[in-house]
Chains A and B, each alone.
Chain A
Amino acid sequence: MKKLAVAAVLSVSVAAPSVADETANLVLNGETQITVRADAPAHVDGLSEIISGWVFRSDETQALQMDDFDNPGMIFVDEARDTWNEASGEAGESCASCHGEPESMAGVRPVYPKWNEEAGEVRTLAMQINDCRETRMEAEPWGYTSGAMANMEALISSVSRGMTINVAIDGPVAATYAAGEELYYTRTGQLELSCASCHEQNYGNYIRADHLSQGHINGFPVYRLKNAKLNTVHARFKGCVRDTRAETFSPGSPEFVALELYVASRGNGLSVEGPSVRN
């Protein structure tokens, strides 16, 4: 038998700051086109162009997201696929019993958070998932930023990748939108910084070794090289507020739900990317 030639490389992930390629375009698995730059929606006064957080990452981090095999976030999507099919709770139901394949969730992620008419409230994806667990499955709710929740959000996002974010901001959600906008522009903490101080006025600049993005959430949940797991939107908000040296709101609080709706709507026009890869 002829010899088979092999060269082996052990890949170890290190988050090294290196300059991002800001002209790069994102295509997933050689087929799914992702919109990483778009005209800012009319309701966002402070930006003319909206840019995905992916653009601001280093070449190596960008590459990890281009192929599902390389994207460590997809490992958690696989775990959620198993969970999707497992019965849980008193009613003996699984997500699959009512929703069929996870692919039936295509189109859900781009419009969340959204108004739930029956409940008369704005619901994030996490709230909706827990509502199904509690009221329909009679199961324990998952922790708002728990691994199980992040994984399920990643699965539901993954089947909408490439679809355009289109979060409603008027009608019954108008008050929530206004509350979120208010929070976004309010300076907090000993450093007296607002979200806008960093993500609107200084995106593209470096803050220590970190390349500041516009802080969109189209890529959530995100796999971070820093902690080798999926991170939820509210956990990220908490980290950013804490960095201003302020007391933060809790994940799942009305304040963070409002902020999520507002921040999501700033990304109207970008594609769903989650689970994305960040440092």
Chain B
Amino acid sequence: MAENVKPRVRVPGTASAGEVITIKTLISHTMESGQRKDDDGNTIPRSIINRFVVDFNGENVIDVQLEPAISTNPFFEFQATVPESGTFNFTWYDDDGSVYTEAKDITVS
């Protein structure tokens, strides 16, 4: 199992209606590509985060498929105009079956 996997997200707590906000997410992960060999010449098995999903108030807004060429600690930054107060749910899916989640509330005034 991948070690030291820790999701982090940054979402502003408040925004005004129509304001463009920046959301940053990062998950610490080795993203082992499956292409490398260890000192004995054996292939190191692939172990990556393969999917990243963001929902806002239950509606899907981002769904990304990640590939082995993506570097360690995948970082996603995106901008959003949030129409109403609510909750962002972030989900990362690991090759080993683990699912990591984070949630952040935002108040729109």
Chain A positions within 8 Å of B, measured between CB atoms, are 1-13, 69-70, 72, 75, 78-79, 82, 228
Given contacts A69-B10, A78-B6, contact A4 B73 (CB under 8 A): no
Chain B count of residues within 8 A CB distance of the other chain: 27
Docked-complex contact B71 and A1, CB < 8 angstroms:
no
Interface string of B1-31 (1 = CB under 8 A from A): 0001010101000000000000010101000
Between A and B, 13 residue pairs with Cβ closer than 8 Å are A1-B83, A2-B83, A3-B83, A4-B81, A4-B82, A9-B77, A11-B76, A11-B77, A12-B70, A12-B71, A69-B26, A75-B6, A75-B28
Please tell me which stretch of B36-44, B58-66, B95-103 contacts chain A, meaning at least 4 of its Cβ atoms lie within 8 angstroms of it: B58-66
Residues of B within 8 A of A4 (CB): 56, 59, 61, 80-83
Asked if B72 is at the interface (CB within 8 A of a chain A CB), the reply is yes
Residues of B within 8 A of A12 (CB): 70-71
Given contacts A4-B56, A69-B26, A75-B26, contact A11 B75 (CB under 8 A): yes
Chain B positions within 8 Å of A, measured between CB atoms, are 4, 6, 8, 10, 24, 26, 28, 56-57, 59, 61-62, 64, 70-73, 75-84
Residues of A within 8 A of B61 (CB): 4, 6
Residues of A within 8 A of B76 (CB): 8-11
A12 to B82, CA, bound (A): 26
Distance in angstroms from A226 CB to nearest chain B CB is 12
With CB as the reference atom, state the residue of chain B lying closest to A79: B4
